[in-house]
Amino acid sequence: MSGIKDVSDTALWVAVHRACEGTRPDALYKDPLSLKLAGPRGEQIAKKMAGGDFMSWMMAMRTVAIDNMIISAVNSGITRIVNLGAGLDTRPYRLKLSVQVSWLEVDFPGLIDHKNNLLKSEMPLLPLTRVGVNLTDLNERQRFFDELNATNEPTLILTEGVLPYLSNPDVESLAKSLHQLSCVKYWVHDYRQGGYASGIPKLWIMWRMRHAQMVFKVENWFQYFAGLGWKVKESTTLKEESDRCGRSIGRPDWFGLFSFIIPPERMDAYSRQLGVVMLEKAT
């Protein structure tokens, strides 16, 4: 049994925990296709990585928060969702939107082929297109952005679970490139104040994620993006989302029995550093 070997494996890990929500009697959503996409390899990774109830809680709260922001954006006039680094996300198959919206998934060609093959018999709820693009190749990325911008269709960009694995200069480059696209109205992503390799799970992340390091770090997430021309339209912490849903925070098993000596108030404070934000251009 092996853990995460590279960044691509994190998609399998997340998919398993996202699917866990559907097994609860009080499920906030059901996502059976996530488990299909994760497969045996994903389940092996989830067992090896641990994280337990906390990881499943975190994925559920993040998923619900992003779902709500997408719905809000669509109600504000967005007609296209572009999911950059889409991974194994399955929202087009379960998210019911009030109006017709097109959905575009973008990721490495190999992952796109894998996903197309596994989901070829499934029917999405809205028009769905997948495109294989190496977003780390700046020239290839810019060509894709130029094609995207040519239609000038009101667009929301989604980068769920993507920014942590980018360097600060890479995030800055992406933020500036998206800001230049006239079609892009909103940008939704998850955040972690102070960076991901800090706080309660620091040692756990340093060891378990050593082959897929979370390197992006800023002390104040919102100030950082404000300096790049983006302002907050909507935001929520995972704690706020959890309270709204009436869901208690899952206990982590990063440190085995030692997890139970972490004071509840410290876990509460940590959950307030994690969240989801929808940005819009400041100018």
Please tell me which of 143-152, 192-201, 257-266 the model is most confident about, judged by mean pLDDT.
Answer: 143-152
Q: How far apart are CA 233 and CA 92, in angstroms?
A: 23
DSSP per-residue letters across 232-258: EEEEEEHHHHHHHHT-PPPPP-TTGGG
Number of Cβ atoms within 10 Å of the Cβ of 248? 10
Instruction: Report whether pLDDT(257) > 70.
Output: no
> Tens digit of pLDDT for each residue in 137-172?
999 999 999 999 999 999 999 999 999 889 999 999
What the block records as the tokens of 234 is 């909507």
Domain ranges of the chain: 54-281
Distances (CA, A) of 209 to 46, 48, 192: 12, 11, 16
H-run or E-run covering 138: helix 138-150
Phi and psi, residue 241, nearest 5° = -65, -40
Which of 4-13, 76-85, 235-244 comes out lowest in average pLDDT?
4-13
Nearest to 204 by CA among 261, 238, 253: 253
Looking at residue 21, its amino acid is E
C-alpha radius of gyration, the chain, whole number:
18
Residue in 128, 39, 150, 19 with CA at minimum distance from that of residue 83? 128
Residue 268 has, within 13 A of its CA and on its CB side, a CA count of 5
The verdict on domain 54-281 having CATH code 3.40.50.360 is no
* Section 127-135 average pLDDT: 96
**pLDDT 10s digits, 18-65:** 888 998 999 999 999 998 998 887 777 777 665 667 788 888 999 999
Place of tokens 């609860």: 24
Q: What are the φ and ψ backbone dihedral angles of 76, each rounded to 5 degrees?
A: -95, 0
Integer Cα distance of 15 and 143 in angstroms: 30
pLDDT band at 283 (very low <50, low <70, confident <90, very high): confident
In this prediction, residue 104 has a pLDDT band, given cuts at 50, 70 and 90, of very high
